[in-house]
């Protein structure tokens, strides 16, 4: 708003005309777009102070037990008892859930409908352990997360992964292992992740890949293997990844590639080998990649 205020500072009459700068035009466009979808929320505080008792908010503390707060919105009064019983449980999860990572929490409720809701609730679709300084994971770390679709392990200090780590995550679609210290990937690591579509392994330290690593990931579409010290890709590595569209191998140490490396990647659209040591490319390397657009 400041530019619009400044533009009218020296105008003495409301009907006087002024010349708007390009920046003012952009400001007006921004406000036009905002107001079109504005949800009615304001960033400005009310002029009058509201008492906690007026909004049914009560707080107290005990030196021996702890502290607590009770708040009830009048708009909840006509709602059914099932909602009223479920609401505080959901609120507790939203407030303190980040402290319960890897916990299996048992809630006590005297409402049968709420109990049925909790029992039928799906497992979290996303597990984020980003930048948690993890150095290792047990083979059973994800055994109770059978419905998880997205696991984010970005920015930890993992060196090795147990071969059965993802055996229970058969619905997994996205796996982020970027910025760890992995020195190897065991053969069979992804044998159960048949729904995997995006795999990010950028910025690790392994120098080779097992030839059968991707045999089960037939739905893989995006693969990131940049800056991982690779100098060799075994023949047949991508024979099962027939749906793959994007592959990144930037900043590695490749000096040659097998002629049949991409023979099965017929859907490949984008392939990146920037900052390697390639001296030549074999005849027929891209014979099957008829949809390749970026190389």
The reported pLDDT for the residue numbered 169 is 93
Tokens 């707060």 sit on residue: 69
> What would the mean pLDDT of 212-226 be, rounded to a whole number?
97
* Position with higher pLDDT, 18 vs 188: 188
Q: Cα 244 from chain centroid? A: 20
Q: CATH topology for 124-295?
A: 3.80.10
List CB contacts of 103: < 8 A, sequence separation 6 or more. Answer: none
Percentage of the chain lying above the pLDDT 70 cut: 96
What pLDDT score was predicted for residue 102? 64
Residue 246 has pLDDT above 90, yes or no: yes
Cα–Cα dist 130/113, whole Å? 35
The average confidence (pLDDT) of the chain is 88
The full set of domain ranges for the chain reads 124-295
What is the pTM assigned to this prediction?
0.63
Strands (E), 101-229: 126-128, 150-152, 174-176, 198-200, 222-224
How many secondary structure helices (H) and strands (E) does the chain include? 4, 9
pLDDT value of position 65: 83
């Amino acid at each position: 708003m400041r530019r619009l205020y400044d533009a009218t500072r020296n105008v003495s009459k409301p009907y006087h005309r002024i010349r708007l700068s390009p920046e003012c035009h952009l400001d007006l466009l921004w406000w036009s777009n905002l107001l079109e979808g504005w949800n009615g929320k304001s960033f400005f505080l009310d002029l009058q102070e509201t008492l906690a008792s007026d909004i049914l908010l009560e707080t107290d503390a005990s030196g021996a037990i702890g502290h607590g707060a009770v708040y009830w919105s009048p708009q909840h009064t006509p709602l059914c008892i099932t909602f009223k019983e479920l609401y505080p449980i959901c609120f507790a999860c939203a407030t303190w859930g980040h402290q319960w990572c890897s916990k299996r929490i048992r809630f006590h409720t005297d409402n049968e409908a709420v109990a049925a809701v909790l029992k039928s609730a799906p497992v979290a679709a996303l597990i984020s352990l980003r930048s948690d300084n993890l150095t290792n994971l047990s083979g059973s770390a994800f055994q109770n997360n059978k419905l998880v679709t997205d696991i984010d392990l970005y920015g930890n200090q993992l060196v090795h992964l147990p071969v059965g780590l993802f055996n229970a995550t058969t619905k997994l679609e996205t796996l982020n292992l970027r910025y760890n210290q992995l020195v190897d990937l065991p053969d069979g690591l992804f044998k159960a992740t048949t729904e995997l579509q995006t795999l990010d392994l950028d910025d690790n330290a392994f120098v080779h890949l097992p030839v059968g690593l991707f045999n089960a990931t037939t739905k893989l579409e995006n693969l990131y293997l940049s800056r991982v010290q690779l100098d060799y890709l075994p023949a047949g590595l991508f024979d099962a990844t027939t749906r793959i569209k994007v592959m990144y191998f930037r900043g590695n140490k490749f000096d040659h590639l097998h002629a049949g490396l991409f023979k099965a990647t017929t859907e490949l659209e984008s392939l990146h080998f920037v900052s390697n040591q390639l001296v030549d490319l074999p005849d027929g390397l891209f014979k099957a990649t008829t949809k390749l657009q970026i190389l």
